[in-house]
Amino acid sequence: MSTTQQGTHSLAFRVMRLCKPSFHVEPPFRIDPTDLFVGEDIFDDPLAASNLPPLLSSHVSKSTDSSDLTYGDRFLLHHPSDAMGFSGLLVLPQSFGAIYLGETFCSYISINNSSNFEVRDVIIKAEIQTERQRILLLDTSKSPVESIRAGGRYDFIVEHDVKELGAHTLVCTALYYDGDGDRKYLPQFFKFVVANPLSVRTKVRTVKITWRTNLGEPGRLQTQQILGTPITRKEIELQILEIPSRINLDRPFLVHLNLTNHTDRKLGPFEVCLSQNSAHEEKTVMINGLQTMALSQVEAFGSTDFHLNLIATKLGVQRISRITVSDKREKKSYDPLPDVEVGIIFAGFNIQYMFSCHLKLVNISSHMYING
């Protein structure tokens, strides 16, 4: 659809989008008569195979009679390609159609002289306008069209690589002398919308997603910047540097930790403790001694190392859980350290299993004996 400036003009633009044709399909799909009357194993019988062709030829000759108005041959295959339903014809587009991001927009533009007089020195311009920019596609200022006779026309083709979504306007203008020698200016506007061929979710981090039209024409994926969830950095980061490889039951052990300040200001002093989810929660690994450990202030972007004295009260695989840091000045607690699993064993229990020896291990009244 186009809009023009008010006034009488000898010239007028006509715009047609150049698109590839589509295949013309004739439903219903055609079938061969042998598929209706016989099976695949009919040719295994030599007698049936020899009599089948004359039978089918007589049936076809009867059904193709021009006086037959029942369309009895509408399912017959006259050519092997008829089985696909394609007639061998191509259909030109009947509408402007959809235009997608990454596609090359190609348009056939004709400027027609509908008056009874010749127009001279025609300067033609064509450009694409979007919300962000104007792109010049054609400009004949340096070599104007000398004349367009009455009833004649001047044709040209423009192309544009579509890189933006949303509304686009194809602006066609003509500056010319009409039959009375007056200089006239004709602007005409043709609007269309560019759609998105693919939907890209923010979870997708790597896309190839080039794409092709129904006839295999290549397109390019053009997207606006994908904004993901911003990564928030912690003000205070607590991490474990070292845990003893051997932890004995009811024996204290030291855990080496590091506290880092990621801000540009001094923070602290701090308190370190083992917090609980509930009052009834059983702690199998706890602090040995004072339940709260005091730490001094930490400089901006600085860190400090310290050791936490712990003790385990239960054998097996246990968890060091909910080591929490609190800022005493700001009265603020930070997220606890993730749980760490450790193995707890008896003190002094260090027996190697020798399968080559016939030994039997017996536990009597918490005393250890080895019997041969």
| Average pLDDT over all residues of the chain | 77
Asked whether the predicted pLDDT for residue 5 surpasses 50, the reply is: no
Both 78 and 58 in one domain: the answer is yes
The boundaries of the domain holding residue 332 are 236-345
HEC string of the chain equals CEEECCCCCCEEEEEEECCCCEEEECCCCCCCCHHHHCCHHHHHCHHHHHHHHHHHHHHHHHHCCCCCCCCCCCCCCCCHHHHHCEEEEEECCCCCCCEECCCEEEEEEEEEECCCCCEEEEEEEEEEECCCCEEEEEECCCCCEEEECCCCEEEEEEEEECCCCEEEEEEEEEEEECCCCCEEEEEEEEEEEEECCCCCCCCCCCCCCCEECCCCCEECCCCCCCCCCCCCCCCEEEEEEECCCCEECCCCEEEEEEEEECCCCCECCEEEEECCCCCCCCCCEEECCCCEEEECCECCCCEEEEEEEEEECCCEEEEECCEEEEECCCCEECCCCCCEEEEEECCCCCCCCCCCCCCEEEEECCEEEEEC
Number of domains composing the chain = 3
User: Would you state the pLDDT for residue 269?
Assistant: 92
Where is average pLDDT lowest: 53-57, 116-120, 180-184?
53-57
Both 15 and 129 in one domain: the answer is yes
On whether residue 371 sits in a domain, the answer given is: no
Asked whether the predicted pLDDT for residue 350 surpasses 60, the reply is: no
Asked whether the predicted pLDDT for residue 190 surpasses 50, the reply is: yes
Where is average pLDDT lowest: 207-221, 301-315, 329-343, 354-368?
354-368
Mean pLDDT of all residues in 292-303: 91
On whether residue 318 sits in a domain, the answer given is: yes
Mean pLDDT of all residues in 103-115: 91
For 22-58, how does the pLDDT look when each residue is reduced to its tens digit (9 = 90+)? 777 666 555 555 556 666 566 666 776 676 666 555 5
On whether residue 246 sits in a domain, the answer given is: yes
307: domain CATH number?
2.60.40.10
On whether residue 79 sits in a domain, the answer given is: yes
For 204-254, how does the pLDDT look when each residue is reduced to its tens digit (9 = 90+)? 556 566 677 777 777 776 666 666 676 677 888 999 999 998 899 889 999
Both 15 and 142 in one domain: the answer is yes
Mean pLDDT of all residues in 144-153: 92
Both 180 and 328 in one domain: the answer is no
Asked whether the predicted pLDDT for residue 136 surpasses 90, the reply is: yes
On whether residue 295 sits in a domain, the answer given is: yes
Asked whether the predicted pLDDT for residue 84 surpasses 70, the reply is: no
On whether residue 201 sits in a domain, the answer given is: no
Asked whether the predicted pLDDT for residue 364 surpasses 60, the reply is: no
> For the chain, what percent of residues have pLDDT higher than 70?
67
Mean pLDDT of all residues in 332-350: 80
For 7-27, how does the pLDDT look when each residue is reduced to its tens digit (9 = 90+)? 688 899 998 888 777 777 666
Both 49 and 142 in one domain: the answer is no
